[in-house]
Amino acid sequence: MPQYQTWEEFSRAAEKLYLADPMRARVVLKYRHVNGNLCIKVTDDLVCLVYRTDQAQDVKKIEKFHSQLMRLMVAKESRNVTMETD
Amino acid sequence: MVAVPVVLLESEQFLSELTRLFPKCRASGRVFITLKKCDGRTRSIPKKGSVEGCEPADNKCLLIATDGKKKVSTVVSSKEANKFQMAYSSLLRAKMDGLKKRDKKNKSKKAKTPQ
């Protein structure tokens, strides 16, 4: 389970993983207030990418990334439509 | 893993349930949020409850939140996505505030701790 040290590496790899197979990939967010840490995991059941943090500044990045993926998931159809119309 | 019945909610209900989940886990435990693209045949959703699965559509995603005991979920489609996302983002940012702040110098001017 490769764990990433930098956010940039993780987000790039995670996005790639999702785009490779959007139906299989899923994003899991684990928040532990007691320990004060947050863990984001992206997996397609074969590969599993993890990024752990206890920094508040990463919360925004993680949450933004999460929303980005959400948008990708729901936008697929509309995206295709706009791309197809000439 | 214990099979926890998944409750499928409307996105607004989901948000209010999620809002309640966080404070419950502040003292102990953790919050799990899963995001997955929805296609209409997701086997991970148990048949219990009012979950029929998603309609066969390409533009939906499934969100599941749990604290290990209670599980709530919702399906977000592209129509609700914008509205849901804004509320969801602010919810996450507000609730996940237990992490270490790196600097005392915050870039955001809004962050003023009232004394």
Return the CATH number at A30: 3.30.720.10
The answer on pLDDT for B92 being more than 70 is yes
The answer on pLDDT for B54 being more than 80 is no
The answer on pLDDT for B52 being more than 60 is no
Number of domains, chain A: 1
**CB–CB of A1/B62 below 8 Å?**
no
Within a domain: B67: yes
* Residue B17 domain boundaries: 1-40+58-93
Per-position DSSP letters for B78-110, written without gaps between them: HHHHHHHHHHHHHHHHHH---SBPS-S--S-TT
The answer on pLDDT for A43 being more than 90 is yes
Give me the residue from A37, A38, A71 closest to B85, CB to CB.
A71
The answer on pLDDT for A81 being more than 50 is no
Q: How far is CA B5 from CA A41, B12, B38, B56, in A?
A: 23, 20, 19, 22
Compute and round to an integer the Cα radius of gyration of chain B: 17
B56: DSSP letter: S
* Chain B residues within 8 A of A34 when measuring between CB atoms: 26-30, 98
Answer with the residue of higher pLDDT: B96 or B50. B96
A12: DSSP letter: H
Residue of A nearest to B68 (CA): A30
Within a domain: A36: yes
Nearest Cα to Cα of residue A73 among B107, B35, B106: B35
The C-alpha atoms of residue B103 and residue B115 are separated, in whole angstroms, by: 19
The C-alpha atoms of residue B32 and residue B30 are separated, in whole angstroms, by: 7
CATH number of the domain bearing residue B2: 3.30.720.10
- Residue B38: per-residue pLDDT: 83
Within a domain: B105: no
**Rounded mean pLDDT, A8-24:** 94
ipTM for the whole complex: 0.84
**Rounded mean pLDDT, A68-85:** 63
- pLDDT category at A86 given cuts 50, 70, 90 is very low
**Rounded mean pLDDT, A31-55:** 93
Number of domains, chain B: 1
- Residue B59: per-residue pLDDT: 86
Q: How many CB pairs under 8 A join A and B?
A: 122
* Residue A55 domain boundaries: 7-74
Within a domain: B83: yes
Per-position DSSP letters for A29-81, written without gaps between them: EEEETTTTEEEEEEE-SS-EEEEEE-BHHHHHHHHHHHHHHHHHHHHHHHHHH
- Residue A11: per-residue pLDDT: 95
Within a domain: B23: yes
Within a domain: A79: no
CB contact (8 A) between residue A63 and residue B93: yes
**Rounded mean pLDDT, B27-40:** 86
